[in-house]
Structures are given as C-alpha cells and as structure tokens.
Structure 1
Amino acid sequence: MRSAGLRRPMSPELYDQPYVRDALAAYDFGIVFTAIREYTGLSQTQLGALLDLGQPRVSAVERGERRIGHVKVVARMASRLGIPPHLLGFPVEGGGSLSMKEVSWVDRRDFLVLVTAATLGSNLHPELARLGNSLPGDSMPSIRTRLGAADIDAIEAISEGFRRWDMAHGGGFCRAAAFAQVHQVRALENADCTSDVRTRYWIAAAGLAATAAWLAYDVEDHDSARRLWAYALDATYRGQDHPRSTDLAVTILLDMTHQSLHLWRPDSPDDDAGRRRQEALALARLASTTAGSRKHPVSTMTAGYISAVTAWCWAALGEAEQMRRAMGTAEDLYGVASVDNTPPWASFVTHAEITAQQGHSYYLLSLTDSTAAPAAIEQLTAAINGHAIEHARSRAVALPTLAGAYLQAGDYDSAATCGRDAISAVAALSSERCCTRLRHLDTIAARYDRNPSVADMREEIRMVTPLAL
C-alpha cells in the first residue's frame, strides 16, 4: 500500500464512524471526502478521477461551497467508494450493493473505475489485488529464484516477436502462446533481483501483457483483452520509475479506447452506442491526463497518438470541428517526432499508419456526415497503398472501412471492388476483428443493395462470414 501512495487500505470501518454516518445521512460529502482522503492518503485530483469529478469540484465540496445531491452522482460515488447504500437512504437489494454484478468485463459498469484505479496506483478498488488471478489461461509455478538483465531482454524480445507476428498474420495464430508466456512471466514477480531489474521487470511484464491483450482483441476475445490491459496498467504503475512507464501506460489506455470504438456500432441501440462512445472518450481523456501526471514524460510519438485517437472519439460523436482540431495536433506532433524517442511498441506508427488514422477519423465522421466520405477515401487509399507487406493486418483492417467510405460517397462500383479486395485480404489472416469489419460493411451496404454490384458484394461477404447472419 505504501508503494501505491496510500497510507492504509480502504476499510468498511470508516463508514461506521458516527461523524461519517451523520455526514452521509445529511449528504454532506465535504466531510466524507475529507475523511476518505485522510484515511487513504489520496489527493483531491486522485479522488476526483475515481469519481469522475474535477479537482476544483472536490475542493469546493470539501470547503462546503458546493453540494452533491443528484441521485445518479450519489449512486455512482457510493458504488465506487463502497459506501453502504442504507447510509444514504437507498433501499438494500440482494447483496446490498448499488452496483450490478456484471457477467463480463466488456459490460461491467465499474470498468472505468477499475482502469482509473490501476492507472493511479490506487488500491481503493478491491479487485486490483486479484488482477493476476483473473488473467486468461492457466497459471503455473516458477522454479526460477532469481532474475537478471538477460531475462528481461528475453521477455522484451518475446513481446516484440508477438507484435511482429500479429501485424503480419493476425492475433489468432499466437494468442494462446502469448497467454502462456504472460503466466510464465507473472510467476517471476517474487524472484530475487536488483531494484533496477525489478523496475525493468514490471515494464517488460506490462508490455507482454499489453501485447497479449491486443492479440485477444484482434480475435474478438474482448473480456480477456480487458483483463490483460488492466493487469498491464497496474504493472506500469509498479514500474513507474522506468523512463518508458508513462509511454506504455498511455498506449495501453489508447488501445482500450480503440476497443471501445470497435465495440460501438452505428446501428446499436442508442443507449449502448452512447455508452461506448462516451467510454472511449473517457479513456482517451484518462490517457491524456496520465501523460502529464507521471514522473516521466511521454514521447512525442505517443503524444501524437493521443491526439489521433481523440480525433476518432470526436468523429464518432459527430463533432467535426473538435475532430479536425485533434487531427491537426496529431499531425504537428508526428511531424516533429524523433525515431530516437520512439518507444518499441510504437514502431508500427509508420507514415501509412498515420494516414490510416486520419482516414479512419473521416470515415467515422462520414457515418453521420456523408460529406466527409471523400476525405476518408483519399486518406485510406493512400494508407492501404503505403502499408508494408509485413503489415498485412493493418491493410486488411482498412480495406472494409474504405469500401464503406465509397458507399457513403455514392460510388457503389468502387465500393464493391474494394469490398472484394477486403474479403481476399481478410481471408489470408487469422483476425476475427477484420471479419467484424466486413460484417460492419455488410450492415452499411444493406442500405444500398438495390445496386447489383453492392448486392453481389454482400453475398460474397455472407459466404465468408456466415456467423454474422
């Protein structure tokens, strides 16, 4: 707990204190916030991040200048801080918690709370201590008793190998192997080593877990991906003295943003679609906050990636001006990034990838504003033509999106031709995520299948992705 920045862990006994119970009954959260911070050692900024409240508001509440009375806000705070519902006048149902028991990490409502706690190194969330036991795959004992620099080099080399294989072939072929490697590395947590090697270990373990998470995401195993990302975030905080710690933590949060946007569909029910888009934006904002709040700064390349992914979020929300502003910032940062300052996990950010990021922003915007489709076509075409052969998965992911942009622009013949190229490219990979992009294309194409070319393309998509029907 000391390493996490807290003087002692959260305890239900705090809410048994008479003055705290009286404050809760009166909804005087100034007293409650002060008591929690004194008990845990959290700053106003950290507490605010856990509760989705700004530091100025936390400060104003503690000074008695503002009150919190909205039932949704109160319920959210109670769930995240473990406040017994009856102390706030809520009826007790089932196990007495305000939060629903979630069946998966994709749908659990406290996911952002857990991610924020892991990023801050806060043990307020009780699940953080058990993250390692929730990872996918089988755990295993270790007979190793010492760790050296050569062991860390080996872990880093394994991660790099998985990344390269994923880019060339998709995540399906090596996901199980990556899960097994994560458990082998996790078994070394308590091995003897120097403090420098220990710091390197946490970052290497985080990098491997994050890579395994991306492989799981690429085959639509979203629950496993989120468990691995959460564990990786916690590991980056443990290794926060490493110069690459902030870069890796931010990249993980942006990968999670990527997943949230992937889970969002324009044809989803309004409440689910809105939740996914807001979740994505919240993760991107947390990435931006983390970039400026840790011991070491992020690289220029990673700062550019923050802005690029933020542009996607604004585009998905239909906010064209904010999207273009974020894209401009990303372009400026990418333009001055140095190869020497690029972390190993950002090596895939080539010129083609940057162009693809811009094209994806315009495509997401075109789903609500078809006038953005021509710009999406221009950028995505350039990206697809520029991808190296070893980045086959990146090309395959972009092709269905380009076909969708052609549909939005009304060029049905080009859409059909591009759709067929996408089918061929996806068939050569082991990437369920690419298949999902084809299914998404089919959903959009349903609006235009009176055109014979589009109808034929849809038939071919249904032949290679039957589970979409």
Structure 2
Amino acid sequence: MPEPSPPPELPVRLLTDPEMIKACRLRDFALVFRMVKKYAGIYPSMIARRCDLTPSRVGEVMAAKRKLLHMDVVERISDGLRIPGHMLGLSSRAWESPPELSATDREASSQPTGPSARSSMPTRDVDDVLASVACTSPSASTVQALRSSIEDYWRRDDEHGGEVLRPAVIGQLRYVESLLTQSRGDSVRHGLLGVAAELARLTGWTHFDARQFSQARFYFGEALRFAKDIDDRQFMANVLACMSLQATYQDRPTGALALATAAQDHARAIGGTPRVLSMLSMREAFAHATLGSRSGAHARLGEAEIAEPLIAQALHRESSTNQRGRAFHAFWLARTQLQQGNLEQACHTAVNALTPASAVTSERVTGHLREFSMQLSPHRAEPAAVAFESQLRQALPAVVSGSPHP
C-alpha cells in the first residue's frame, strides 16, 4: 500500500506575513487557524483532520473559547499545517530536513509498526477525554510546579540566551493568567501572582537581551503590576534595577538614575540585604557614569587598575554553565586590560571569551564583543590583535561582518 502523501506546504506569503509570524510566536491559534483558512483555503474540518483534533475543539479555539497549550498539540499543529518549528518555539521538525535515514533509523523502521505494535498505547481521544474531566482548579502543587519550570527557564537562559525560550515563556505566562481567573484561595492566588511576575520579568529580560527595548519595557511593566498586587517590594526593586540597566543601554541616563533610585527606595523599605543594596548602588553608579563622560570615567588608569582584579574575581566565581555571564565578565576584563596597555593579555582574555559568546544568542554579548574589536583598531597590525581577529572570524563570522548574532 503506498505511503500517504504529505500535506501541502503553506503559501510563502502566509508564512512571511508579520501578523502570522506574531500569531505563531504568541501561539495565538485562534488567529493562526483563521489566517490558514483565509489565505491557504484550509477549513476547520481540514485543520482538525490534519492536526488530529476534533472539529468541535478547532471551532472552540477559533471562537477564542479555548486555548491550546500542551506541547504535543503544538507539535501536531506544526506538523499538520506545515508551520516551521522555529515559528512556534519548537526545534526543527523532521519534515523540514531531507529524508535521509541513518543506519539506526533504518533499523528502527524495520520494526513492526502496525496496529498490534501500537495497541498498548493510549490514543489521543482518550487523552482528550481525561483532560476534559481533570480538575483544573490550581492548587499549591500547581504553583510549585510552575516555579520549578521557571528555575529551569532561567538556567537555560544563562546557558543559551533567552530568544529561543521566549515563545514557551510567553505561553506559560498566558496560561498562568488564565489560572488566575479560576483561583479562589488567597494563598494560591498570591503564589500565582508571584509566578506571573517572574514569567513577565523573564520575558522582559529575553527581549532586553535581544535589544528589543520597547517590548522589554512592556513586560517589565507587567512584572511590576503583578508584584505590586502582592506588595513584593524586593521583586519590584529587582525589576526596577533591570529597567535602569536597560535605560543605560539606551543612553537614557536620567531615566536610568531615577529607576535605580526608586529600586533602592523599595529595597531599603524592606531592609534589603547588603548584597542587594550593593547591586542597586552599582546600577546607580552606571547611570552617574553615563551622565558624565563615559570614556573619561572608564579610561582613567587608576580606575582600571582597581577594576581589573575585581572583574577577574567575578569571572572566576561565575558558574561554568552561565555562558552569558562568563562572556560578559571576560570582555569587561579584556577591555580593562587593554585600557592599561596590556594588549597581549587583553587579546588572550578576549579569545577565551569567544567560546561562551558563541554558545548564547545575545545581542548584548555581541555588542560588547564589537566594542572590544573596535577598541583594537589602533593595534590591528600587532600579532596579538591579528590572532584574535582570526579566532573571531572562525567562531563568530557574523560579528565580523557586522550582521546580527546568529
């Protein structure tokens, strides 16, 4: 019996439509399904069949009465409608690659796959029935599970950057917002608001790390709103500090200073720890330096001599899994060494920074790398600078060409 032909591809003009791209990124399947119907002629009954969903379920989604959040459903939609995985925050799907089988694949394909081999597996119909009768009221264990997932998101953000995580985090945030409409108990609602604040801050951070500042500011504002509902001033101080740092990056020193001062006020009101207050003082110092002469403030030899051992200690303490943090501290150290005239040492430090820099997708890391490369301009002919540029071209060719980080 011949293999069934794969479903046809969606029109390129639909996959490149900004509205479709945004709908996929937010996993707004009500809009995705409507656009697929309008521009690709794939009607709800066909969507249901291709995505292994019931027609009633598709109708509820299109009417915005139901959301699709489970990962297996998202994968079925990607495969059934031929939406590339990256558009929905997934890894590349099997159908996006050439149909080449490895030896392991061939061996696996020779195994029986008929009804008898699948008879012990539950069907998706059963899963849908079980999901429909499951208790959906959030509990304390729901809050704990969500907090655990946030810890995992932050860990992966440190290791790889946050851009690839963003669709999943936004989906989680929308899910928590829906739970808040069902929550009745004060303690559970308090916990869910805290989770929502964390997810909004993380979403803002992923936008900030990609230098998408307006979106970052929006989600930081959402985080503040959730935190204010539960009067979590320490968290609010942290978000304000993030916003102050962003304002510094945007060359808005007056705003950065005001935000840093507000963060300190919140932290002092609750008796913030010395570590927190020190971090906030550093944010204020960044703002003050930006208000004055940044080049003069950082180029003074005495300051560089003081800063170098402190940055080196911070780099040594940085977790081996925090690739972005290691890259930041290494480039800061390299720039400080260069300011003192230690060209060979600076280039050696910068070469070591290329490995963690290439492991993350972070426009901020790329920006610091470009700044160091520009500072090397007067020394282009020196052997150490030539060696660094050679290593840079191999590790991050897009940075050399001036294009965004891959």
Normalising by the smaller structure, the TM-score range is: 0.5 to 0.7
Within the alignment, does 1:277 sit opposite 2:253 as a pair?
yes
1:464–1:456: structure 2 CA closer, same or farther, 3 Å change rule? farther
1:412–1:225: structure 2 CA closer, same or farther, 3 Å change rule? same
Within the alignment, does 1:258 sit opposite 2:251 as a pair?
no
Identify the residue that residue 59 of structure 2 maps to in structure 1. Answer: none
Within the alignment, does 1:305 sit opposite 2:279 as a pair?
yes
The alignment partner of 1:374 has SS state of helix
Distance 1:298 1:227 in 2: 26
Within the alignment, does 1:235 sit opposite 2:166 as a pair?
no
The alignment partner of 2:182 has SS state of coil
Distance 2:380 2:305 in 1: 21
Post-superposition CA distance 1:271-328 (Å, at most 9, x none): xx4xx222221210121223345xx554444233222322333344459xxxxxxxxx
The alpha-carbon deviation at position 259 of structure 1 amounts to 2.1
User: Does the aligned pair in 1 maintain the 2:334–2:346 contact within 8 Å?
Assistant: yes
Post-superposition CA distance 1:327-352 (Å, at most 9, x none): xxxxxxxxxxxxxxxxxxxxxxxxxx
User: Does the aligned pair in 1 maintain the 2:204–2:219 contact within 8 Å?
Assistant: yes
User: Does the aligned pair in 1 maintain the 2:200–2:223 contact within 8 Å?
Assistant: yes
Residue 435 (structure 1) aligned to one of 343, 366, 369: 366
Within the alignment, does 1:468 sit opposite 2:402 as a pair?
yes
Identify the residue that residue 171 of structure 1 maps to in structure 2. Answer: 162
Identify the residue that residue 403 of structure 1 maps to in structure 2. Answer: 334
1:419–1:280: structure 2 CA closer, same or farther, 3 Å change rule? same
Within the alignment, does 1:392 sit opposite 2:323 as a pair?
yes
Identify the residue that residue 415 of structure 1 maps to in structure 2. Answer: 346
User: Does the aligned pair in 2 maintain the 1:247–1:299 contact within 8 Å?
Assistant: no
The alignment partner of 1:220 has SS state of coil
Identify the residue that residue 159 of structure 1 maps to in structure 2. Answer: 150
Identify the residue that residue 96 of structure 2 maps to in structure 1. Answer: none
The 5 A counterparts of 1:16-35 are none
User: Does the aligned pair in 2 maintain the 1:152–1:204 contact within 8 Å?
Assistant: yes
1:461–1:278: structure 2 CA closer, same or farther, 3 Å change rule? farther
Aligned letter for 2:260? A
Within the alignment, does 1:376 sit opposite 2:307 as a pair?
yes
The alpha-carbon deviation at position 467 of structure 1 amounts to 5.1
The alpha-carbon deviation at position 367 of structure 1 amounts to 2.9
The alignment partner of 2:179 has SS state of coil
Identify the residue that residue 384 of structure 2 maps to in structure 1. Answer: 453
Distance 2:387 2:290 in 1: 29
The alpha-carbon deviation at position 154 of structure 1 amounts to 1.9
The alpha-carbon deviation at position 407 of structure 1 amounts to 1.6
Residue 314 (structure 1) aligned to one of 288, 294, 311: 288
Percentage of identical aligned residues? 23
User: Does the aligned pair in 2 maintain the 1:256–1:283 contact within 8 Å?
Assistant: yes
Residue 264 (structure 2) aligned to one of 282, 288, 292: 288
User: Does the aligned pair in 2 maintain the 1:139–1:184 contact within 8 Å?
Assistant: no
1:366–1:379: structure 2 CA closer, same or farther, 3 Å change rule? farther
Q: Gaps (5+ residues) in structure 2?
A: 1-24, 30-65, 68-131
User: Does the aligned pair in 2 maintain the 1:155–1:208 contact within 8 Å?
Assistant: no
Residue 188 (structure 2) aligned to one of 197, 200, 207: 197
1:380–1:254: structure 2 CA closer, same or farther, 3 Å change rule? same
Paired residue total: 276
Distance 1:413 1:262 in 2: 29
Post-superposition CA distance 1:167-212 (Å, at most 9, x none): 2332233222212211221222321321222222211110121122
1:209–1:467: structure 2 CA closer, same or farther, 3 Å change rule? farther
Greater radius of gyration (CA):
2
1:364–1:153: structure 2 CA closer, same or farther, 3 Å change rule? farther
Distance 1:158 1:190 in 2: 21
Distance 1:181 1:290 in 2: 28
Q: Gaps (5+ residues) in structure 1?
A: 1-135, 264-272, 320-362
User: Does the aligned pair in 2 maintain the 1:402–1:418 contact within 8 Å?
Assistant: yes
Aligned letter for 2:402? A
Aligned letter for 1:444? Q
Distance 1:201 1:318 in 2: 42
- The Cα RMSD (Å) is 2.9
The alignment partner of 1:465 has SS state of helix
The alignment partner of 2:376 has SS state of helix
Aligned letter for 2:148? A
Post-superposition CA distance 1:53-103 (Å, at most 9, x none): xxxxxxxxxxxxxxxxxxxxxxxxxxxxxxxxxxxxxxxxxxxxxxxxxxx
Distance 1:251 1:398 in 2: 20
Aligned letter for 2:146? I
